[in-house]
Structure 1
Amino acid sequence: MVPNPGRCERESATLRRQQVLDAAADCFRRHGFHSAGMAQIAREAGMSVGHIYHYFENKEAIIAAIVDRDLVRIIEILEGFRNAEDIIKAILNRVAVDIDTHTDARDSALQLEILAESSRNPEVAKITRTKDAIGRKLLGETIENGRRQRGLPPLPATDLDARIDVMIALFEGLNCRGVSHPQLNRDGISAVLDKVLRQLLED
């Protein structure tokens, strides 16, 4: 097979971008957004600062790409739910996995750092709020599809919005709890979350 130079170049660029994002995420976790300079990110990534600027205009652009990467993961999870024979059951079956994800110390540190920067930086706030709006919309559609599968009536828009906010708050709150109280009783939390989510999804 004849190599495709264009394809190889694109794949190399994608790998380089991921290399920068991984390095930046580690720097943001350890030092915070403001203390992590481009030179530090470059050293972590094993490339020059100029090379990083070839892929990202500034640190805000790096955060945008990290948030986008997280959004892709969320979309993939929700798409998996939407293709399930029983959507509500699929959501409930994933509770233990989501608890582990949201109490992971490294992930929690990064998520909290991005949220903190969102409270100070309008550009970062715009990025995180756009991600939130997309995730909320997809989650709402997933819940309604799951209720329809079970013959449950559609929820009023305001009720659905409130349930979505509560569900998201439950899991995002675990990021904070994972930092404040690393020795969480995950089995106990999973059992309680199962009950709460059943009410939010089925009631």
Structure 2
Amino acid sequence: MPRVSEEHRAARRQQILDAARRCFLRDGFHSTSMQDVIAEAGLSVGAVYRYFPSKNDLITAIAQSVIGGADGVFAELAAAEPPLPLVEALERALAYVDAQTGPDGILPLAIQVWSEAQRDPALAEFVRATYTGFRGHFTTLARRAHAAGTLPADADPEAVGAALFGLVPGYFMQRILTGSPDRRTYLAGVRALAAGPIPA
């Protein structure tokens, strides 16, 4: 009997994940059953359970694709040469967000992942570690800006990185929940805040 190739296994796993993502976007994590995913994927029960023994395994894998996909984008921003001005780095991060907030994008699932992380300790740990890593990329951006003299000498890069990163989920939460503001408006507000005096 021929052995199943690694490529075939990867394609089958992705087929199941794509089906699960469609189900989760349509009906949410809690209203989607494994039977829904099996029907959506058009595979046998055994084929699906071979790759994902439980719905929690599927949710975790979806979370890794939803949240983990941004890591490469943010890492590239942090490593760009020459170092990016902070607002430009934010603008590029928000361009990625815009590309992922439509009906076929991955970010609408991020809110479901956050909610599920409140009840699943393993998923909560994954989310914590991943978002800490994201924040680290923005802290690197702030450190490089500080070294380049584009931040005040007494600025704390850790604090700046945390605040800068916080603007990203703040933007896509508003976009997903209310449909606005657009990126240009949001960035105009950020620039206005950056230009004005901030009380201690």
Q: TM-score, normalised by structure 1?
A: 0.75
Map residues 152-163 of structure 1 onto 2, 5 A cutoff: 159-163=156-160
1:171 and 2:138 correspond: no
Q: Specify the alignment match of 1:139 in structure 2.
A: 138
Deviation of 1:61 (Å)? 1.9
Map residues 88-127 of structure 1 onto 2, 5 A cutoff: 88-89=84-85, 91-101=89-99, 103-104=101-102, 106-127=105-126
Distance in 1 (CA, whole Å) between partners of 2:52 and 2:37 is 12
Distance in 1 (CA, whole Å) between partners of 2:17 and 2:192 is 37
- Residues 73 and 93 in structure 2, CA contact (< 8 A), matched pair in contact too: no
- Residues 134 and 165 in structure 2, CA contact (< 8 A), matched pair in contact too: no
Flag the 1:170–1:79 CA change in 2: closer, same or farther, 3 A. Answer: closer
Q: Specify the alignment match of 2:181 in structure 1.
A: 184
Larger helix share, 1 or 2: 1
Q: Specify the alignment match of 2:14 in structure 1.
A: 18
Distance in 2 (CA, whole Å) between partners of 1:191 and 1:99 is 17
CA RMSD in angstroms, aligned pairs only:
3.3
Q: Write the letter of the residue equivalent to 1:53.
A: Y
Deviation of 1:194 (Å)? 4.7
- Residues 101 and 176 in structure 2, CA contact (< 8 A), matched pair in contact too: yes
Distance in 1 (CA, whole Å) between partners of 2:10 and 2:153 is 42
Q: What CA deviation, in whole Å up to 9, does each residue of 1:48-87 have, x standing for no partner?
A: 2321221123222222222322454323213322442223
Deviation of 1:94 (Å)? 0.8
Q: 5+ residue gaps in structure 2?
A: none
1:39 and 2:70 correspond: no
Number of residue pairs matched? 192
- Residues 67 and 131 in structure 1, CA contact (< 8 A), matched pair in contact too: no
- Residues 100 and 107 in structure 2, CA contact (< 8 A), matched pair in contact too: yes
- The percent of aligned pairs where both chains have the same amino acid is 28
Flag the 1:57–1:163 CA change in 2: closer, same or farther, 3 A. Answer: farther
**Larger RCO (alpha carbons 8 Å, 6+ apart):** 1
Q: Specify the alignment match of 2:25 in structure 1.
A: 29
Q: 5+ residue gaps in structure 1?
A: none
